[in-house]
């Protein structure tokens, strides 16, 4: 590799590192129950995840045929969601196969690791600790860590900065259009996984690499960080 700056891999959380859908959908269903709406099946609601809790609630209501809530109603539902989810962060959530081994390889090779997620920071820290991998990451940055959140590229670039990395030797790993759009706008190459939460097949979004298992991540990350430098940033809107 071309300079002495340590490379950094920045991971999304939901749908990338861990299958959090069962617990997120359970929290959504708790909110829907309070609105006298039937629960959604996890498999039917997986693709509603990915843009944060408020968006998940709005999408869940839309699927249930309920008109869009006003700001006061949405805030009430959001608070209820956070209370339920915070009490059930790890009831059924599991790391995707190969995550622990992949993270260990990166750490052993001297990479910096970070998390950039639209999950709130306290929930992210707690969940990653419960899953046993929080200590792998130099920075864990959530939706409320900075004044910006994905797809705003500053969420990613500030995460890289906080972790002590450089955008010139960074790679983003995510599962959705939000992650790919964020990375593109930041000028950072992106590896996508197809087993997360995306209403558009990630292969159609043209990530730099698409991997089907975490045992493929090391090779993909080394290749693109070693060859992609100073990528032009796209316009964020």
Are residues 146 and 77 located together in one domain of the fold? no
Are residues 133 and 50 located together in one domain of the fold? no
Are residues 12 and 113 located together in one domain of the fold? yes
Helix 21-34 to helix 71-87 angle, to the nearest 10 degrees? 130
Dig out the tokens for 193 from the structure. 């996984």
Which domain covers residue 57, as residue numbers?
Answer: 21-87
pLDDT for residue 145 is more than 70 = yes
Residues recognised as catalytic? 12
Please calculate the CA angle 153-58-69 and round it to the nearest 5 degrees: 120
| Mean pLDDT for the chain overall | 92
Are residues 65 and 104 located together in one domain of the fold? no
Decide: 190 and 27 in contact? Cβ < 8 Å.
no
Model pLDDT for residues 37-95, shown as the tens digit of each residue: 999 999 889 888 877 789 899 999 999 989 889 999 999 999 999 999 999 999 999 99
Are residues 99 and 170 located together in one domain of the fold? yes
C-alpha closest to that of 210 among 231, 230, 192:
192
Are residues 14 and 101 located together in one domain of the fold? yes
Q: Give the chain's domain count.
A: 2
Are residues 30 and 112 located together in one domain of the fold? no
Model pLDDT for residues 29-40, shown as the tens digit of each residue: 999 999 999 999
Domain at 162, CATH number:
3.40.50.1000
- The whole-number pLDDT of residue 4 equals 75
Q: How far is CA 232 from CA 102, 164, 168, 183, 187, in A?
A: 28, 21, 11, 11, 5
pTM: 0.90
Q: Is 223 a domain residue?
A: yes
């Amino acid at each position: 590799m071309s300079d002495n700056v340590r490379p950094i891999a920045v991971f999304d959380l939901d749908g990338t590192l861990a299958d959090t859908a069962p617990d997120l959908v359970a929290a959504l269903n708790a909110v829907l129950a309070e609105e006298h709406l039937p629960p959604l099946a996890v498999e039917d609601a997986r693709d509603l995840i990915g843009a944060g809790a408020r968006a998940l609630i709005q999408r869940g209501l839309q699927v249930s045929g309920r008109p869009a809530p006003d700001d006061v109603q949405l805030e009430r539902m959001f608070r209820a969601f956070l209370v339920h989810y915070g009490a059930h962060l790890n009831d059924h959530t599991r790391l995707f196969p190969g995550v622990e081994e992949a993270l260990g390889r990166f750490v052993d090779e001297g990479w910096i690791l970070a998390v950039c997620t639209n999950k709130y920071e306290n929930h992210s820290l707690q969940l990653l600790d419960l899953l046993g991998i929080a200590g792998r990451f130099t920075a864990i940055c959530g939706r409320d860590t900075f004044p910006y959140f994905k797809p705003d590229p500053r969420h990613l670039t500030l995460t890289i900065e906080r972790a002590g990395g450089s955008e010139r030797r960074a790679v983003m790993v995510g599962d959705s259009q939000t992650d790919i759009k964020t990375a593109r706008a930041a000028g950072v190459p992106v590896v996508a996984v197809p087993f997360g939460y995306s209403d558009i097949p990630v292969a159609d979004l043209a990530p730099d690499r698409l991997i089907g298992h975490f045992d493929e991540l090391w090779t993909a990350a080394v290749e693109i960080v070693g060859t992609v430098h100073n990528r032009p940033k796209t316009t964020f809107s």
